[in-house]
Amino acid sequence: MSGAASRALAPLDEALALLAGLASPVAATQVLSAAAIGRVSAADVLAPVDVPACRTALRDGWAADAASITGASPYAPVTPRRPPVWVEAGAPLPPGADVVLPPEALVGREIMEDAPALDGVRNAGEEVRAGALLLVAGERLTPMRHAGLAAAGVTSIAIRAPRLRLIMTGAPAPAVGDALSAAIAALSAAAGASVETLAAPDDVERIAKAIGADGADAIFVVGGTGEGRTDRSAEALGAAGDLMLHGLALRPGETAGLGAAAGRPVLLSPGRPEAALAVFVALLRPLLGVLSGAGAPPTQRAPLTRKIASTIGLTEVVFVRRVDGGVEPLGGAGLPIAQLSRADGAVLVNPDREGYPERAEVEVTPL
């Protein structure tokens, strides 16, 4: 952008406030819990029943009454009035049994060792108690949380999965554009969205048609946001709806913009990979958090292995990678793809800071 335009760049906070006014959680849908892995729960999920439903065996062995075999040993075997019953791990214990002895504990009809009550036993509800909170509204369903739901007999849950339309236009090269769209789609899916990717030429009508088409809850247009003769994304958003902001105090990503079309939020991003990913981190991921009901994306604190220098007045996105002892800054604006591909996180430097010294603890947004 020109020097005159750069002086009018909108702060990131203003852009986020505009987005917050355009977005609200999408409608919940009920899906099979196995299909909901990676999605965001729309409601608290409670265990419907006790697991196990009754006293069960934790191991293969002989189910017996602990009180009737107290003191049993090879030197003082005990012959119980009721012979022990063989059970497999996970099987219900017979009435009156409260201990599971190992296989070698029984020789003939005699028991050669004792054990305290409930040894080798899982009581009713000990795995999961009926009414226990298994998943909180706004929480993402991970594979391990799904295992807990499945164990408790939960077969379906309500989720919020915003539909994101990713429109790729004006990419610097086809191979770069394909790789970038795949990365953004994967990151968006990890944030709980379902993603539709479209390619649009640098044509106002074609881009506007893609922006305005039904079937999406949010639109992310990558490329064509600058002042080049083929940059048409901002004009297309104006044709499809309302261009509310064009030019952000975000580095990289100064030519980003946002607005609305057909009642849906629309984000515009430069086509450079590091700029598009910076806009994803700073704006799109928070937007998906609102739409899915997940809220602010999680961050982790880690020390810097080298200092970060930043420009006052701009929110700078610095990509980092985890190394022994903390995170290593890789860079931001102009970062080559070979370096960018090593990033597994990003640090947002506030516009009132000149950076962070080496060993400073910083908030890292995972990628």
Which class does domain 300-366 fall in? mainly beta
* Range of lowest pLDDT (37-41, 173-177, 213-217): 173-177
- pTM assigned to the model: 0.86
Output phi, psi for 189, to 5 deg. -65, -40
pLDDT of residue 110: 94
- Of the two residues 8 and 149, the one the predictor is more confident about is 149
pLDDT at residue 55 greater than cutoff 90: yes
Q: Is the pLDDT of residue 174 over 70?
A: no
Check for a shared fold between 3-26+161-292 and 300-366. Answer: no
Q: Given this model, what pLDDT does residue 173 score?
A: 58
pLDDT value, residue 1: 44
Q: What is the mean pLDDT of residues 116-143?
A: 96
Q: Where are the domains of the chain?
A: 3-26+161-292, 32-48+134-159, 56-122, 300-366
Per CATH, is 3-26+161-292 categorized as 3.40.980.10? yes
pLDDT of residue 296: 85
Cα of 48 vs its chain's centroid, Å:
26
